[in-house]
Amino acid sequence: MAARRFPRSLLAFALVGGAVAAVVVWLGSLVTGIVAGVATWIVGLLLIRWAAGRGFLGDGHDPSRRRFLVWTGLGGLAWVAGGAALGRAAATLTRPDAGAVQEAAASDLGAEYMELVRRAYHPGRSGDIQLLVSPFNSANYAAESLSLVPHDPRTSHAAVWMYLERIPLVVYGPGIVQRSDSAERVSLADLAPTTARLIGFDGWPGDRDGRVLPGLSVTRRTPKIVVTYVFDGGGWNVLRHWPNDWANLKRLMGEGANYRNALTGSFPAVTACAHATIGTGAFPKTHGVTGHNIRADARGSRKTYGEPGNADPSDILVPTLADLYSDATGNRAWVGEVGYQVWHMGMIGFGGPNRGADEKPVGVYWNEGTGSWAPHNPQLFRLPAQTPGPDIFEAHQAVFNSNRPSWDAQFDPKGGQSPCCSPPVVQYQHDLLASTLDSEPIGAGGPSLLYTTYKSPDYTGHVYNMYSEWEGLMLRTVDEQLGRLVEELDARYPGEYVLIVTADHGQCPLPDAVNGVRLDPIQLTRSIEEAFGAGPASVVQNVWPSEVYMNVPGLRDAGASLDDVAAHLRHLTYRQNLGPYVPRNAIEQALLGDPEFSAVFASTWLDRLGDVSRFRQTIYTGQDVDPGIPPASLNL
């Protein structure tokens, strides 16, 4: 009897080990499953050896018994391996066809939207999972989710939809550019080759994504300076909402070459991508700036360009027009950029690493820590020869504060960010531009290139929302500086300048007002970890508004692929993405069943994407999702 109990006991523990391995692997982790199965088997083996040593199971010195112990032990390990394989097979068979799920979502999006996605994907830079939120949804940052309030105005616009893509674009140059109106589709990638043509630069590479703006009629006069002026966040959905707050832009549209069917040109419609597209004449798939964060290494993502004040423009993978043109002229031609954030550096590019202090190009951002202008990186860029003193800024602030509005005070920016959404910093930026024109050798070594971006409309939309009176005020203030700049250019370079005015993207309306819901990155992380994170390491590294960076080896341990994650998230609902910290009165009860995403794509699926023409028309139609081409008449 005792002799029979010995092998049966060992066999039982081997079977239990295999079963444990199968269950654990089925629940998520191959490594954990095998470890658990082997641990179960070892514990059983040790218990049996302990019992045999005390004579409970008969003579433990029987040679046949020892051989049986060895072979049964090996069989137990085989059971563990078999159980793990069975668990992996069961987990795989219960998952949906991930490729079919993504193909169906792409078909719903249609060829036009999928082209925007294709232009943005860059292997090794883009996130492993691309998140395309449904129309009018907004993806939160974690801090926003944790502090959400009813009708919270804070939003992001890292999405693909035409209400975010449609932007104004006008080329204005008295005596140089002929008046015209075009409804032909163009994009921000067309600005660099167009500028190259305007200045007569024949070194522009022919393999970039952009082209010279169609139908642009110019005289033979070469401008002394070409200025590119960007309303950050000033897309057409913002202009339409505030039709009386951009009179100067409207005038230029009527007098210059106006392109009413202009788009940002790629997904997501965010500042960093768009400004690198302006500078390089290429989309993110070529220039590599795929978002405000890019893949750093196997551990996850990092901030694009690094830290302001010590920015690294080498994240741009191809030279900008400013780089190529400056090099071709032996650095004699003047180029410069005056912006607000590090993202705006994408318009000018690499700077002057091998040039003397006075030879470096101007490249300026607003240092929120010190409340002053500073070079992006003093090793590569410099301030203009003359800059307006802080007393000028203080005077603007004193005038504004004497009659400061009290709209939406609950969300007023604090600390160093406080100037971002009020007129003084916008007015002060124009003062810096005027000082630049006065103190720099514009046109001395050939046509000069000056890039400037006014961040305030975008910042204001993020903080207060585009429906707030603050947005109308900031749009009007930036437009006033546009009028002042035209006066400056007319006075200094009459008939010798070209001014290109555009925006980098539109903005997300208040989700509560347009049946949109919010995406919570905290709960999104939990959803992925619950489905695929049973192993020893987390499978989610970073979640950003339009993408997720994954621990791919950890995902393999779960027996899953990036495609499986994309398919798992595709039909996530608002109800499934609500954390317990969200106040009940901040939850849109009528929208609990609404989808968070229109599509979720894995990088592995995008690697296989190919030609997008097979997807044809989008199902996401209607004036709300796509406001359409603005009318030739600007009486909006």
pLDDT in tens, 460-479: 999 999 999 999 999 999 99
Most confident of 21-30, 57-66, 411-420, 599-608: 599-608
Residues 6+ apart with CB under 8 A from 113: 160, 267, 618, 620
| Percent of the residues in the chain that have a pLDDT greater than 70, as a whole number | 85
Residue 9: pLDDT above 70?
no
Among 30-34, 224-228, 409-413, whose mean pLDDT is lowest? 30-34
Work out the average pLDDT over 258-266: 98
Residue 315: pLDDT above 60?
yes
For tokens 């999104």, the residue is: 524
Give the closest residue to 574 by CA, choosing from 130, 136, 98.
Answer: 136
Residue 33: pLDDT above 60?
no
What pLDDT score was predicted for residue 249?
98
- Could you give the strand order of the β-sheet that contains 448-454, starting from the edge strand earlier in sequence? 180-182, 257-259, 169-172, 497-503, 225-231, 448-454, 335-338, 362-367, 372-375
Give the closest residue to 626 by CA, choosing from 128, 166, 153.
Answer: 166
What pLDDT score was predicted for residue 587?
96
Confidence at 606, pLDDT banded by 50, 70, 90: very high
Residue 58: pLDDT above 60?
no
Query: Residues 283-297: pLDDT tens digits?
Result: 999 999 999 999 999
Instruction: Determine whether 26 is exposed, middle or buried from the number of CB atoms within 10 Å of its CB (0-12, 13-18, 19+).
Output: buried
For tokens 């600007």, the residue is: 634
Residue 98: pLDDT above 90?
yes
Work out the average pLDDT over 394-410: 94
What pLDDT score was predicted for residue 455?
98
Give the closest residue to 221 by CA, choosing from 495, 588, 569, 557.
Answer: 495
What pLDDT score was predicted for residue 353?
84
Residues written for the chain: 636
Work out the average pLDDT over 235-256: 98
Helix (H/G/I), strand (E/B), else coil: 483: helix
- Which domains, and CATH codes, for the chain? 2-93 (no CATH), 98-156+528-615 (no CATH), 162-279+313-507 (3.40.720.10)
What pLDDT score was predicted for residue 74?
54
Confidence at 25, pLDDT banded by 50, 70, 90: very low
Report how far residue 55's alpha carbon sits from residue 2's, in angstroms, rounded to the nearest whole number.
Answer: 9
Long-range contacts of 626-630 (CB under 8 A, 24+ apart): 626/161, 626/162, 626/163, 626/166, 627/162, 627/163, 627/166, 627/236, 627/237, 627/240, 629/166, 629/183, 629/260, 629/261, 630/166, 630/236, 630/240, 630/260
Among 71-85, 106-120, 320-334, whose mean pLDDT is lowest? 71-85
What pLDDT score was predicted for residue 188?
98
Instruction: Tell me the C-alpha to C-alpha distance, in Å, between residue 542 and each of 33, 547, 594, 596, 626.
Output: 26, 8, 25, 18, 31
Work out the average pLDDT over 110-116: 98
The dihedral through the CA atoms of 376, 493, 328, 454 has a sign that is positive
End-to-end, the C-alpha distance of the chain in Å comes to 95
Q: What is the mean pLDDT of the chain?
A: 90
Residue 5: pLDDT above 80?
no
Query: Residues 494-503: pLDDT tens digits?
Result: 999 999 999 9
The single-letter DSSP state of residue 212 is P
Among 2-16, 83-97, 111-125, 379-393, whose mean pLDDT is lowest? 2-16
Question: In DSSP terms, which residues pair with 295 in a beta bridge?
Answer: 301
Residue 47: pLDDT above 80?
no
Confidence at 95, pLDDT banded by 50, 70, 90: confident
Report how far residue 131's alpha carbon sits from residue 291's, in angstroms, rounded to the nearest whole number.
Answer: 13
Work out the average pLDDT over 69-92: 53
Query: Residues 414-465: pLDDT tens digits?
Result: 888 999 999 999 999 999 999 999 999 999 999 999 999 999 999 999 999 9
Pairing of β 129-133 and β 547-550: antiparallel
For 621, other C-beta atoms within 10 Å of its C-beta total 11
Work out the average pLDDT over 259-270: 98
Among 327-336, 571-580, 626-635, whose mean pLDDT is lowest? 626-635
What pLDDT score was predicted for residue 355?
80
The phi-psi region of residue 301 (left if phi > 0; otherwise alpha if psi is between -120 and 50; otherwise beta) is: beta
Long-range contacts of 400-408 (CB under 8 A, 24+ apart): 400/424, 405/469, 405/470, 405/473, 407/464, 407/468, 407/469, 407/470, 408/153, 408/464, 408/468, 408/469, 408/470
What pLDDT score was predicted for residue 24?
46
Work out the average pLDDT over 594-621: 97
Work out the average pLDDT over 69-88: 53
Residue 44: pLDDT above 80?
no
What pLDDT score was predicted for residue 49?
59
Residue 599: pLDDT above 60?
yes
Work out the average pLDDT over 377-392: 97
Report how far residue 357's alpha carbon sits from residue 345's, in angstroms, rounded to the nearest whole number.
Answer: 19
What pLDDT score was predicted for residue 21?
47
Residue 544: pLDDT above 60?
yes
What pLDDT score was predicted for residue 379?
96
Q: Which residue has the higher pLDDT, 11 or 502?
A: 502
What pLDDT score was predicted for residue 13?
52
